[in-house]
Amino acid sequence: MTSNVQSAEVTAPKLLINGEVVTTARRREVINPATGDAFTAVPDATPADLDNAVAAARRAFTGWSKTSLQGRQMAVQRMVAVIRENLDELSLLVTLEQGKPLAKARGEIESGLRYCEAYAQMQIPVEVVRDDATERTEIRRAPLGVVGAITAWNYPILLALWKIAPGLVAGNTIIVKPSPLTPVATMRLAELLHDVFPVGVFQVVSGGDDIGPALTSHRGINKISFTGSVATGKAIMASAAGTLKRLTLELGGNDAGIVLDDADPASIAADLYWGGLSNCGQVCAGLKRLYVPKRLADQVSDALAAVAATVRVGNGLEDGVDMGPIQNEAQLNRVNSLVESSLARGAREIFRGEAPSGPGYFHPVTLVRADDESLPIVEQEQFGPVLPIIAYDDLDDAIARANASDLGLGASVWSPDEARAIDVAERLEAGSVWVNQHPAMSPDTPFGGVKQSGLGVESSLHGLLAYTDITVLRIKH
């Protein structure tokens, strides 16, 4: 399978707007991060193409919003079935453009489908506030209109499905703009779903630096749902202000994990490792700062290094690979800079794994003792296969240091004493706090951040209702 898959040619996906193929003068090469070479090129939409997509979405909204909730959910279920029928192809495209191992790419899509299935079963409640002899008052939910969904390059299909399913179930039409680094699988998704939804209900518009601002400021867009960096989230918030768009922003995290002094390093090492370095460390809610009691620091470091030594880094299309490359060269350079500058300032490297030499954006798994809070590798979100281990003497001080970040997406506490762990968890400033795991997400649980990690939540009924406005119906008898 390996050699045939790697040599397979990929047909570039088409740009579909208003149900028709659009020819563009501009094309964008898409790089395979495992090789550093382009494997295909995709059409690059212009602002005029975006205008046409928005017009089509607004026309489609009239009929789609009036379709029954059950009808919209049945369409989402058909979407799930089509994606499952094409799972192998989509998984391959995700691996080629994102870099993760093929089995992980398949797992990403299957996870997204579970969320879609959950949304296809959720009911949108009508709350009766009053129903007496004089008046009936109801709180209802109405779709917003056209949703602009902007996804990130670390989980291109999962993040798209997280937005497509609730947006459509709520009665909106949706335009997805994938990252220009990973547009291929998402554009192919639009081709596969061409006949599932009415024309204009779901569209994908690929493009570069000019399409994002055009989308977020567009007068025909009613909501932006974005996953990505804090800096871009702030720019989107400013751009959307002119039309008071509704916003869901899932931004960065520099998640802290605190190991308590009664923890068993050997029993938690694997969960700590994958909590921090799953998807090559490119997880917004991944564990990025590990606080460990000083007396356990060497034991935890050794246990983590033992796990890291078993991880094979390589091309995600090869059998037996556990971790792929960093997705793009700029991020690879950033991770290298964070590590090198931290080592120069006193951090100590305690493990460096092996990574393929030659082409591709590979970085070895790296564990660092970094007890100085001001070191770049601690202060900044790494978003790569690097984990700093920070020793502490006083638990209260560790909690204060964990909370000192401007970010607050996730956090975790590790201890066999659940009551004690919960007491610490309640003091951590994060949208999600986990005990003896990191991260853990499910379709029935909201996910979002506090502080500068974002606005609003995704997933669960709370995430679904974020695609609606409250309307009040008051009937005088």
Looking from the CA of 264 toward its CB, the CA atoms found within 13 Å total 4
User: In sequence order, which ranges of 170-296 are alpha helices (DSSP H)?
Assistant: 184-192, 211-217, 230-240, 265-277
Who contacts 195 (Cβ-Cβ below 8 Å, separation ≥6)? none
Q: 320, 312 in Cβ contact below 8 A?
A: yes
Name the token pair of 365.
């798994």
Looking from the CA of 435 toward its CB, the CA atoms found within 13 Å total 13
117 — alpha (psi -120 to 50), left (phi > 0) or beta? alpha
How far is the C-alpha of 301 from the C-alpha of 291, rounded, in Å?
11
Q: 357, 254 in Cβ contact below 8 A?
A: no
Among the listed residues 286, 350, 293, 297, the one whose alpha carbon sits nearest the alpha carbon of residue 323: 286
Angle (deg, nearest 10), helices 69-85 and 87-98: 70
Residue type, 258: I
Name the token pair of 34.
């495992």
Among the listed residues 72, 308, 330, 42, the one whose alpha carbon sits nearest the alpha carbon of residue 190: 42
Q: 408, 448 in Cβ contact below 8 A?
A: no
Helix (H, G, I), strand (E, B) or coil at 42: strand
How far is the C-alpha of 227 from the C-alpha of 384, rounded, in Å?
17
**Residues marked as catalytic:** 250, 284
Query: What is the edge-to-edge ordering of all strands in the sheet holding 135-143?
Result: 127-131, 135-143, 468-476
How far is the C-alpha of 455 from the C-alpha of 422, rounded, in Å?
25
Residue type, 316: G
**Beta bridge partners of residue 347, listed in sequence order:** none
How far is the C-alpha of 456 from the C-alpha of 215, rounded, in Å?
20
Q: In residues, how long is the chain?
A: 477
Name the token pair of 247.
């916003």
